[in-house]
Amino acid sequence: MASLIASIAKDLLKDGVAQSLGAFALSQVKKVADSKTFKTKIVQFVAAQSQEYKKKYVMAKNIILISSQESELDIDQKILQKVPNQEVNLTEDGAQRSAQIGNQIQNFLDELSTKSKKQIKISAYSSPYQRAKQTLEQMKKKIKNDFFVEIDLNLRDQDLGNLPQDIKSEEIEKERQLISPFFYRYENGESEADVYLRASTFTNTIIRQIGNFDRNQKYQQEEKVVIVVAHPVVIQQLQASLKRFDSQNLLNIQTFSQ
C-alpha cells in the first residue's frame, strides 16, 4: 500500500501546479496505513489550500453582464429576411433604456469606489453586432470612467441561419420543444449548446485577465470591473459558465437585461 501511495504522490509532483500537494502526499506515506485515511488527509489538505488561495490571490471581482436592449428584431422577427442579424439597430426605446442602465452602472461604481476606497478600473467587451455596440455606446455616455471597448466574436448573438423565413413558426417551435430548446440547432445556424461553448471560451479569457490583474502589484490600488454587453441567450449562457468559477462566491456578478 505504501508503495502505491508513494507512486501516486510522485505523479503529483510531476505537475508544477500540484507540487505542494505532491510534497504533502509524500510526507503522509509513512504516516498512514490505508488508502482511505490517505485520501482523507489529501482532501483536508486541498480544502485548506483552497481557502488559503482564496485569501491570498483571489478577491471578489465585479462582472457586469448586460443584454443588448430593444432592437428592430424585437419588434419584427421577419426583419432578418432583409437585414443581416449583425446589422439590426436599436429602437429609440432601446437607446433610452441603454442610457438608463449607464446611470445605474455609474451609481454602482460610485458605491463600489466608496466601499473599497480604490479607483475603478474598467475592462469592457462587446458583441460585434450593431445593437450590442449601440447599447454600450449609450451606456458609456453616462459612465464617468473612460475605458477601452474590446469586440469579441464569441459574444455574437445565436446564429439562427441564413436569412430565416420565420424562426417563430409553429412547426419550428414544436420541433424545438421536442428536441429541447438547449440542443435544438436552427438550419444553418446554432443551438444554445453551441452558444454555451462560445461563452465558456470567453469566460476563460476574462477569468485569466482578472487573475493576472490580481497578481500585478501596480494594480493593487484599483478595483477591477468587467463590463460585458452581448445578447439575451449569450448572457444566459455566460451566467451558466461563470457558475463553474464561482463556487466560492469569488465574483460579484451584476446582470442587466431587457
Q: Do 48 and 142 share a domain, yes or no? A: no
Angle between helices 35-56 and 2-14 (to 10 degrees): 30
Residues 129-155 have a mean pLDDT of 96
Q: Do 27 and 67 share a domain, yes or no? A: no
Is there a contact between 5 and 38 (Cβ–Cβ < 8 Å)? Answer: yes
Segments forming the whole domain that contains residue 24? 2-56
Per-residue pLDDT for 177 more than 50? yes
Residues 67-87 have a mean pLDDT of 90
Q: Do 185 and 228 share a domain, yes or no? A: yes
Q: Do 8 and 72 share a domain, yes or no? A: no
Question: Which of 37, 56, 75 finishes a domain?
Answer: 56
Which of 1-15, 93-107, 147-161, 236-250 tops mean pLDDT?
A: 93-107
pLDDT band at 243 (very low <50, low <70, confident <90, very high): confident
pLDDT tens track for 197-225? 999 999 988 888 777 766 666 667 788 89
User: Cell triple for residue 80?
Assistant: 432578418
Element (H, E) at 16: none
Average pLDDT, the chain: 80
Question: Which of 33, 56, 79 finishes a domain?
Answer: 56
pLDDT tens track for 12-51? 555 444 555 555 555 665 566 566 676 676 666 666 655 5
Per-residue pLDDT for 187 more than 50? yes
Q: Do 155 and 186 share a domain, yes or no? A: yes
CA distances from 145 to 20, 47, 121, 123, 183 (A): 41, 39, 8, 11, 40
Q: Do 105 and 208 share a domain, yes or no? A: yes
CA distance 45 to 47: 5
* pLDDT value of residue 36: 67
Q: Do 205 and 86 share a domain, yes or no? A: yes
pLDDT band at 175 (very low <50, low <70, confident <90, very high): confident
Q: Do 36 and 66 share a domain, yes or no? A: no
Q: Do 109 and 183 share a domain, yes or no? A: yes
Per-residue pLDDT for 229 more than 90? yes
Q: Do 50 and 102 share a domain, yes or no? A: no
User: Cell triple for residue 164?
Assistant: 430565416
187 vs 108, residue with greater confidence: 108
Q: In sequence order, which ranges of the chain are alpha helices (DSSP H)?
A: 2-14, 19-28, 35-56, 72-75, 92-116, 130-140, 170-179, 192-215, 232-242
Question: Which of 14, 32, 56 finishes a domain?
Answer: 56
Q: Do 101 and 30 share a domain, yes or no? A: no
Other CB atoms closer than 10 Å to residue 72's CB: what's the count?
Answer: 18
* pLDDT value of residue 80: 82
pLDDT band at 88 (very low <50, low <70, confident <90, very high): very high
Q: Do 22 and 77 share a domain, yes or no? A: no
SS3 64: strand
If one counts the domains in the chain, the total is: 2
Q: Which of 13-22, 30-39, 114-123, 246-255 has the lowest mean pLDDT?
A: 13-22
CA distance 120 to 217: 16
CATH number of the domain residue 201 falls in: 3.40.50.1240
Query: Is 0.75 topped by the overall pTM?
Result: no
Per-residue pLDDT for 56 more than 50? no
* pLDDT value of residue 252: 83
Is there a contact between 186 and 160 (Cβ–Cβ < 8 Å)? Answer: yes
Per-residue pLDDT for 154 more than 90? yes
